Structure 1
Amino acid sequence: MAYDKPRDDHSAEKADYLKEPATRTIPDQDVIRHQPQWFRAALAHAPESRRLTVDGAEIHYLRWGPENRDDDPERPGLLFVHGNGAHAHWFAFIAPLLAMHYNVASMDLGGMGDSDWRLAYSRDSFAREIGEVALAAGLGPKPVIVGHSFGAFVSLIAAKHYGEKLGGLILCDFTIRPPGERREWFLDGPERKPTRIYPDLETAKARFRLAPLQPCGNGFILDYIGPLSLREVSKGETRGRRTFEETGWTWKFDPTIFNGLAMGSDHAEIYRNLACRGATMFGLDSKDYEPGQIDFLRQLAPDKPVFTIPGAQHHIMLDQPHAFAAAVGAVMAQWHAEGALE
């Protein structure tokens, strides 16, 4: 399994990914830095920034309605949930591609992005945040949750608790394994060190990396999400359990989230027994794409489709944004036609 966060050169990462080189490389001259027209048009469809208090913490999310039309909160909708250490803007160029037909939101999980930091985190605290935002954001009678990587894991837990109020769950590049193959991403590792504070924004921006490490030909997307992964902090400022000892720039995530965070061994049971629709998407070139595990998923829940996106590694929405949006839209259209979103 994998998760994503802006990589700091002294932070502990998922060991089995860092020991291996990226599966392929992209020559610098082939990395696209100029923002194409579709991307600029998507960002021009600006969302509304909102906050919702969940269990004492303010959770930030972005909300898109139809462009140049009155918003209709009864339209079917979906909520994007980012991966480890990422943030809502990872979907700011995806959401407008779907907003013509659906209300769309993208949230910052607690301790990440522009949401508050907590004194303690658990899979259930994240699940509560996801479920409450999904129901409060005006995403129709039965919203669909689309979770990527770590966000898929906690979205699965949210669907366990909120499934009867949801239209469906789409897991993106997250592997559900048989109970006997339980893997804990965080329990066996060392405690995460505090993120480094850089003296200026330019120095910090230069440290942005995808994790798990992979090349991305759409450099213009990395140039967009990288700076939005950083915040300026002041000496003496306190967030969660950390008081910053110097002024500068650092990443928008709380590394204490993952100290002792238990994932559990009940994922297969939860997925099989969801009270809402379910589907799973993988990047065809992702290290998380394992044909044997795909077979297990299909046997576990024959009613829940499993499919791949060619040309995509773990970060599907960065590698193949249009194919990612089209796949989500196709699943949404099917579930809408079947009445699951009403």
Structure 2
Amino acid sequence: MAHEQAATVVSEPTHRYFEVDGLKLHYLDWGGEQERHTFVLLHGGGAHVHWWDSVAPLLTPYGRVVALDFRGHGRSQWSRPPSYGPPAYMNDTRALIESLGARVILVGHSMGGAVAQWVAVTHPEMIEALIVVDAPHGPPPLMRRLMWRWRRRSHGGKRPELRSAHDVIKKFRLSPPETNLSRLELEQLALAGAEQLPSGAWAFRFDPETRAWRKNRGRMTKPKIKNLKMPTLLLRGEHSGLVSPRHVKRMNRKIKGSVLKEIPRAYHHVPLDNPADTAAAIIEFVDKL
């Protein structure tokens, strides 16, 4: 298995790779004792492993911690012809879990939380516990979907190339945009998800075709979360505009025995906005398994 060291301010995770469907996919491995627990962290749409940079190191005393770049995201290979969307990302996640050789605590944020729900429903034997971070059951609110649909039309096709790292920083936007991150933290996140090309130009590590998965895959039905039997934690950002209090409470009722917790001082991007309380909520939940 190929790997190389990547230094961060908090710790030094290892870049690792595995193959699925002929694609070389990337994940970060922060280490930890797999005999205790194994955490697999899933990012949201258009994001990458570095959404977890401030949460993952806090979890390593409780087990091995890895974060996956879905195909077409981060350092993972692009799919050609395009094969994206939840079914493909479920396959990526399942293959990673198989390669780790352990039942996992599956933690998914946003789109990653939707994928985590599907994996838990279809492959419960792989999952020790499920943690869904600010992700709805089923599609996001209608207005949010319409906004994303417009963005898919206007940003599809080839990946835009930018002249400099400074232009990467200027172009970078979170979606939804609300966040507690400082300007410097946003700049660091932008550069963590970008690369300099051989031509000298810069570009984001992201395949624009991932936005158009529905034209190839069509609609998906909701996973039957009422069938979930494993311990489940639902986390919602206190100020989230994507997952309403009513919606997450409904999820809580459907998943028998699930735990619901709100993360203070957090919008939709919970692992970025309040990593300390996010990790603390996960640790409190894991201690009771």
TM-score normalised per structure 2: 0.85
Q: Is the 8 A contact 2:229 2:256 kept in 1?
A: no
Q: Of residues 204, 207, 220 in structure 2, which corresponds to 1:264?
A: 220
Q: Is the 8 A contact 1:82 1:148 kept in 2?
A: yes
Q: Which amino acid is 2:13 matched to?
A: P
Match of 2:24, SS state, is strand
Deviation at 1:223, TM superposition (A): 3.1
Q: Hey, what does 1:128 align to over in structure 2? A: 91
Q: Of residues 103, 109, 132 in structure 2, which corresponds to 1:148?
A: 109
Deviation at 1:134, TM superposition (A): 2.5
Distance 1:215 1:299 in 2: 29
Q: Of residues 221, 230, 250 in structure 2, which corresponds to 1:296?
A: 250
Distance 2:112 2:123 in 1: 16
State the Cα deviation string for residues 300-337 of structure 1 (Å, max 9, x = none).
123111221111101111111100111111122222xx
Distance 2:149 2:8 in 1: 41
Match of 1:312, SS state, is coil
Q: Residues 187-198 of structure 1 correspond to what in structure 2 (within 5 A)? A: 189=150, 191=153, 192-193=155-156, 194-198=158-162
Q: Is the 8 A contact 1:42 1:97 kept in 2?
A: no
Match of 1:259, SS state, is helix
The alpha-carbon distance between structure 1 residues 292 and 90, as it changes in their structure 2 partners (threshold 3 A), is: closer
Q: List gaps (5 residues or longer) in structure 1.
A: 1-40, 67-71, 236-246, 336-342
Report sequence identity in percent: 25
Distance 2:144 2:180 in 1: 27
Deviation at 1:104, TM superposition (A): 0.4
Distance 1:296 1:204 in 2: 39
The alpha-carbon distance between structure 1 residues 297 and 313, as it changes in their structure 2 partners (threshold 3 A), is: same
TM-score normalised per structure 1: 0.73
Q: Is the 8 A contact 1:164 1:276 kept in 2?
A: no
CA RMSD of aligned residues (A): 2.6
| Structure showing greater relative contact order (alpha-carbon pairs closer than 8 Å, 6 or more residues apart) | 1
Match of 1:59, SS state, is strand
Q: Residues 21-60 of structure 1 correspond to what in structure 2 (within 5 A)? A: 43-60=9-26
State the Cα deviation string for residues 211-241 of structure 1 (Å, max 9, x = none).
1111424444323221011112346xxxxxx
Q: Hey, what does 1:8 align to over in structure 2? A: none
Q: Is the 8 A contact 1:182 1:264 kept in 2?
A: no
Q: List gaps (5 residues or longer) in structure 2.
A: 1-6
The alpha-carbon distance between structure 1 residues 277 and 184, as it changes in their structure 2 partners (threshold 3 A), is: farther
Q: Which amino acid is 1:59 matched to?
A: L
Distance 2:44 2:14 in 1: 21
Residue 92 in structure 1 maps to residue 45 in structure 2: no
Report the number of matched residues: 273
